[in-house]
């Protein structure tokens, strides 16, 4: 069984007690399926408000050595001194983001179900590629439906890690892990209920509990 880690995606609402929930989720993970990264994905707010909301969440991640990744905005990632940025296909260029954020930044790229986009991202210097949506997702509508064959193809060809995203739950994640997903990007499956129990359920479902 390939080794897989969790990549938590924030819900839209991250104020109030959400920092405590994030800490609970990360702390519930086991060494066999840790939370490797957290993506700050908040839409429709100005950069100042995003920075205010991000600060306590970034502190939680930093204290636990979890990568803090900003969705879409290279400018916000630079302002926060985040660990990296996740770029959609319309969010800019990997090489330009690298120039702004530096060599150490983790830059990921959404590649939908496209081998071509993934190869381009890898050639441009992306640190990971994200494929999805593997299942229907309430977080983000997508007409792209990659299959597990895409993960297998990527793993056989490339060293760059791949992230599976889109409607992933403990009940449906195992085929993605078996196909070679290095990370499972999860949102609603964790935040719509007991986040600590959900994180443990992913490890159990993957056969990586302990």
CATH value at residue 130: 3.20.20.70
Residue 23: domain span: 5-206
Residue 7 φ/ψ, nearest 5 degrees: -125, 100
pLDDT tens, the chain, 210 aa long: 568 999 999 999 999 999 999 999 999 999 889 999 999 999 999 999 999 999 999 999 999 999 999 999 999 999 999 999 999 999 889 999 999 999 999 999 999 999 999 999 999 999 999 999 999 877 666 677 899 999 999 999 999 999 999 999 999 999 999 999 999 999 999 999 999 999 999 999 988 655
**Are 191 and 11 in contact, with CB atoms under 8 Å apart?**
yes
**Are 88 and 97 in contact, with CB atoms under 8 Å apart?**
no
CA distance 72 to 172: 27
- pLDDT per position as a tens digit, 51-68: 999 999 999 999 999 999
How confident is the model at residue 59, as a pLDDT? Answer: 98
Report the domain count for the chain. Answer: 1
Mean of the per-residue pLDDT values of the chain: 95
How confident is the model at residue 210, as a pLDDT? Answer: 55
CA distance 36 to 182: 10
**Are 39 and 7 in contact, with CB atoms under 8 Å apart?**
yes
Tokens of 108: 């990921």
**Are 183 and 165 in contact, with CB atoms under 8 Å apart?**
no
How confident is the model at residue 142, as a pLDDT? Answer: 66
**Are 130 and 163 in contact, with CB atoms under 8 Å apart?**
yes
- pLDDT per position as a tens digit, 151-161: 999 999 999 99
**Are 24 and 195 in contact, with CB atoms under 8 Å apart?**
yes
């Amino acid at each position: 069984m390939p080794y897989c880690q969790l990549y938590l995606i924030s819900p839209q609402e991250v104020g109030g007690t959400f920092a405590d929930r994030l800490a609970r989720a990360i702390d519930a993970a086991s060494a066999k399926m840790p939370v490797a990264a957290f993506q700050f994905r908040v839409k429709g707010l100005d950069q100042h408000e995003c920075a205010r909301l991000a600060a306590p969440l970034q502190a939680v991640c930093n204290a636990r050595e979890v990568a803090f990744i900003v969705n879409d905005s290279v400018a916000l990632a630079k302002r926060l001194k985040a660990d990296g940025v996740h770029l959609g296909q319309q969010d800019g260029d990997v090489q330009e983001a690298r120039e702004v954020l530096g060599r150490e930044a983790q830059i990921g790229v959404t590649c939908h179900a496209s081998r071509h986009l993934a190869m381009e991202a890898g050639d441009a210097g992306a640190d990971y590629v994200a494929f999805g949506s593997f299942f229907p997702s309430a977080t983000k509508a997508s007409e792209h439906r990659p299959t597990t064959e895409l993960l297998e193809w990527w793993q056989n060809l490339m060293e760059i890690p791949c992230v599976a995203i889109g409607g992933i739950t403990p009940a449906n994640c195992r085929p993605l892990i078996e196909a070679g997903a290095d990370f499972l990007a999860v949102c609603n499956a964790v935040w719509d209920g007991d986040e600590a129990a959900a994180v443990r359920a992913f490890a159990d479902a993957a056969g990586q509990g302990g």
